[in-house]
Amino acid sequence: MIRQSRLQVGSASTRYLATDGPDDRPPVLFVHGNPGSADDWRPFMTKLDGRRRCLAPDMLGWGHSDRVPGFEHTMANLARFFEDWIDAVGVADFDIVVHDWGIIGLVAAARRPQPTGRVAVIGCVPLTGEYRWHLAARLWRRRGVGELLNATNTRWALQQILRPAIHNDAARKQLAKDIMRDMDPGMKRAILELYRDADPERMTEFGKELGRLGGPSLVIWGKDDPYLPYKFCADFYGKVLDGRVEHFDRSGHWPWLDRPEVVDTVADFLEA
């Protein structure tokens, strides 16, 4: 059963989802991307419930987390927040699964004194200056234009934006509903600050930190991902993490929404 709790981290609090599992196995941490929340991970957590303890926080500024005045949602600050969240939740050894901008959580994990266990990367932003942003990201990075885009967004418009990224109609409508539920002024600000911080030089420096990870890794990509092309991104992470790469046909940026067997593939990897 998935439980919902809140955790105070410094001066801010955030929601996190949790399931129970045996004490002799390390927990699995799930880190969502933009514009998602911990709810993205419910299929994985349901699959692993009772088999592994799972923990999935809302990153600060997204989901049901606090909106903190004055907090700048830069890559460095978000990585530091996740480091502090790990300390606050009280885990040392863990496996980790990340999606999209959840890669910042993997950077935080790489900084831990204890080695990270198994790592699963699903359709993540490539931390390299060679990447060229997709259209929505380019708009978010432009001052004034990004604010206008966020101000005029509706659930119907979001469904159209997500259409090339999710083939499953029901899943696309549900995700758009979940995103718009959380899309308040604080989350809109967080999105703009994150993308405007992601300059090529800064992304390259963060990418170098991933070299500290030494555990077994799995890289999963939807071949129809319109935001992060698999030929570039999956190859990048396959080399950086020296891990197994799985491409899923007929799936987009949230590949498990189009191909439920992605959940089984990740669960089997974590259980190996």
**Confidence bin at 211 (pLDDT 50/70/90):** confident
Q: What is the pLDDT of residue 272?
A: 86
Q: 5 forms bridges with which residues in the sheet? A: 16
Joined tokens for residue 60: 């600060």
Q: In 3D, which of 71, 39, 65, 80 has the Cα closest to residue 184?
A: 65
Go through 121-150 and write b for each residue having 16 or more CB atoms within 10 A of its CB, e for each that does not: bbbbbbbbeebeeeebbeebbeeeebeebb
Give the whole-number percent of the chain exceeding pLDDT 90: 87
Q: What is the DSSP string of 13-82?
A: EEEEEEE---TTS--EEEE--TT--GGGGHHHHHHHTTTS-EEEEPPTTSTTS---TT----HHHHHHHH
Mean pLDDT of 208-213: 90
Residue 4 above 90 pLDDT?
Answer: yes
Work out the average pLDDT over 169-194. 96
Topology of domain 3-271 in CATH is Rossmann fold (3.40.50)
Task: Give 240's Cβ-side CA count (13 Å radius).
Answer: 27
pLDDT in tens, 38-54: 999 999 999 999 999 99
Model confidence band, residue 226 (pLDDT cutoffs 50, 70, 90): very high
Give the pLDDT of residue 205.
94
Average pLDDT estimate for 89-112: 96
Paired tokens of 106: 């993997």
Res 242: pLDDT: 83
The span from the CA of 183 to the CA of 63, in Å, is 8
Instruction: Return d(Cα 154, Cα 55) in angstroms, integer.
Output: 31
Question: Is residue 179 scored above 90 in pLDDT?
Answer: yes
d(CA 56, CA 69): 24
pLDDT score for 247:
94
Closest CA to 99 of 125, 128, 131: 125
pLDDT digits (tens, 9 = 90+) for 227-252: 999 888 888 998 899 889 999 999 99
Confidence of residue 133 (pLDDT cuts 50, 70, 90): very high
What are the residue ranges spanned by the domains of the chain?
3-271
Measure the CA–CA gap between 79 and 106, rounded to whole angstroms: 8
Our measurement of the distance from residue 238's CA atom to the centroid of its chain's CA atoms, rounded to an integer in Å, reads 17
Residue 114 confidence (pLDDT): 84
Average per-residue pLDDT for the chain: 95
Average pLDDT over residues 161-174: 94
Res 14 pLDDT > 90: yes
pLDDT of 115 higher than 90: no
